[in-house]
Chain A
Amino acid sequence: MSDAAHAHDDHGHGHPTGIMRWLTTTNHKDIGSLYLWFALIMLFVAGTMALLIRAELFQPGLQLTNPDFFNQLTTMHGLIMIFGVIMPAFSGFANWQVPLMLGAPDMAFPRMNNWAFWILPVAAFLLMVSFWLPGGAVAGGWTMYPPLFIQGGISYDLTILAVHIMGLSSIMGSINIITTILNMRAPGLTLMKMPLFVWTWLITAYLLIATMPVLAGAVTMLLTDRNFGTHFFNAAGGGDPVMFQHIFWFFAHPEVYILILPAFGIVSQVIPTFARKPLFGYASMVYATASIAILSFIVWAHHMFTVGMPAAAQLFFMFSTMLIAVPTGVKVFNWVATMWKGSMTFETPMLFAIAFVCLFTIGGFSGLVLAIAPVDIQLHDTYYVVAHFHYVLVSGALFSIFAGIYYWLPKWTGHMYNETLGKWHFWLSVIGMNIVFFPMHFLGLAGMPRRIPDYALQFTEFNQIATVGAFIFGFSQLIFLVVVLKTIKGGARASDQVWEGAQGLEWTLPSPAPYHTFETAPVVK
């Protein structure tokens, strides 16, 4: 953190220094950096869990873990990657970029912003400490289904509390972002002139305040079922565990778009810059994002085709899910059309953005396969599902985060990153990622179940390939850490515009962006 502080410590307001500066900061740039560092640390924590999982799966039989610990690893890997890596990273981008892109001096509620970040490490502590409690960490899957989640030990209560805290953090962050976007735009910056990153975050923030409270309600019911004698989900007391799945996925399907819409936003900033053309179909991008968000509320039950629902319901959820491919396709075609006949250059952010478009589309197509109810019943809970959501979350969400970091880091630090190391990071990541996750499609089609530490012998070769890829992918992230640290410490000076084709208010500021910016609002024509 002190490295990040170095970049913009030239402010003269008698701020507290050292740790207190970071604990009490209300500056959107500081809080953005805190979110991003938190996400990076958690990426390595949950990534280590993923490597343990892959190491165990290198061979059939049990080598390194016992089944219970394996389940703890898969559960915590999922929870931390979603709530501790992707969401905080996007919040970090929002904190840094939304005020800069809107010409606002800071976020609307700076003190709430500070709280929204600083309760996150508390939640992370509650999650992590449960590994050392009796019974170990939660092992019931990140989806928290009863009856497992109403039967476990103390760590289940701590995890529920952590989910409450992380939900509260996202809600506070979202309220802040919506208010900033609606009320604090520079004069002349109408909604339909906003950069697409801001648009996607506005819609994401609405999704968050609409669904996070529902998750909070669901885990509250789990908590009272566990401790206060209610029977929402306890079949023995007249409850219904399937009802939890409905409530949970009512939250969690919009949640998966919360994890990808800001990625769409970042990519929609990066591609026009390096294609040196304005974004193709700006208005259709905005409407497509909004359509995806609205449709996300009526498709949740495609996660649970196997619970035994009537055929009419299966058909409804199947077709509504397939409908989402339409606005998503609009986006993919717009990105491709933006690149079409552009003067493209392939700096690291652009490489990650192009990889995003290609690989996210693969993940989208496997999602379309899973949307087909009769196919899903065959593939439910197999490695095909694992392959699908890692294509959309690793080569989708995570790659867009890398693209965004490489893209904006020169503006934040005032230094260019090392392009050679950046390219090494990109190529090792994209190759490693495909080696891990592509064979999982075949494993899933062949029937290998997910969340099981052992497997039948015929799955061995593909699992070994995946494990090798996982270690290539995992260790190449250390290059990213080195690139970020080196860029903060020094490197070639970045110009104000940084990239030749960069457009927007943030590029009118000096590099590094001063601690206080846009104290007088710029006028947008």
Chain B
Amino acid sequence: MAAGNARTLGKLVVVTLGMFGFGFALVPFYYKICEVTGINSGAEQSLVKNTQVDSSRWVTLEFDANINEALPWRFKPLQRSLKVHPGQLVQVEYEVSNTSDQPIVGQAVPSYGPARAAAFFKKIECFCFTPQTLAAGESRRMPVLFVLDPSMDSEVHTVTLSYTFFGTGMKEQAADLRTGRPHG
């Protein structure tokens, strides 16, 4: 009986040690499950990736830039068009230059075509959010960071983003820039 008991003891000790190891094996197992199922991953939860990319369809983006005729600036997108998936984070750049000999404050106003796409065009960062001040002869590249909401109509295949720069007439601020005083 003693030999039989020792054999049983041996088996049970192996089970015990195995389960102790299993406890630690749960750690990589847990991360693998999270990775495969795409849940509980810190990166996925951060702001920039917190959207569902709809890779089943493409949307063509067209970029357009206009200047109000009273503003002596040049303004153009650095890319004419782009194909993206809805939900994908996109960054594009525009270039703007002040061709006059004095600093001028301008602000861009966006519009969208078709108009119903406007609600789904989520801009995260845009130069149009704030007035832009350009010194005489200054040229600048400015980014737009945005996501097309995947819940956008699937019949919309092309979206045009169009900006128009207007002078704000904010002489005060431009004057600050000229004299080098810090903005108030």
Contacts and interface: CB of A to CB of B under 8 A. Distances in A.
Interface in A227-270: 232, 240, 242-243, 246-247, 250-251
A214 interface: yes
A108 interface: yes
Interface stretch (B6-14, B72-80, B127-135, B173-181): B6-14
A213 B1 contact: no
Contacts, number: 77
Interface residues of B, number: 24
A214 B20 contact: yes
B26 A247 contact: yes
Contacts of B18: 213
B39 to A, nearest CB: 6
B23 interface: yes
A17 interface: no
Nearest to B30: A243
The 10 closest A-B pairs by CB, nearest first: A217-B23, A213-B20, A213-B19, A214-B23, A179-B8, A175-B12, A108-B5, A183-B4, A243-B30, A209-B16
A212 B19 CA distance: 8
B16 to A, nearest CB: 5
Interface string A157-184: 0000000000000010011001100111
Interface in B7-39: 8-9, 12-13, 15-24, 26-27, 30-31, 37, 39
B40 A218 contact: no
Interface of A: 108-109, 171, 174-175, 178-179, 182-184, 209-218, 221, 232, 240, 242-243, 246-247, 250-251, 308-310
Given A183-B8, A213-B16, A217-B23, 5 more contacts: A179-B9, A210-B15, A213-B18, A213-B20, A243-B27
A178 B16 CA distance: 13
B9 A175 contact: yes
Interface of B: 1, 4-5, 8-9, 12-13, 15-24, 26-27, 30-31, 37, 39-40
Given A184-B1, A243-B30, A310 B12 contact: no
A215 B40 CA distance: 23
A313 to B, nearest CB: 8
B44 to A, nearest CB: 12
Given A178-B8, A246-B30, A211 B1 contact: no
A7 to B, nearest CB: 29
27 contacts: A108-B5, A171-B16, A175-B13, A175-B16, A178-B8, A179-B5, A209-B19, A210-B15, A210-B19, A213-B16, A213-B18, A213-B23, A214-B19, A214-B22, A214-B23, A214-B26, A216-B20, A217-B22, A217-B23, A218-B23, A240-B30, A240-B31, A240-B40, A242-B40, A247-B30, A250-B26, A310-B39
B23 A178 contact: no
B137 to A, nearest CB: 49
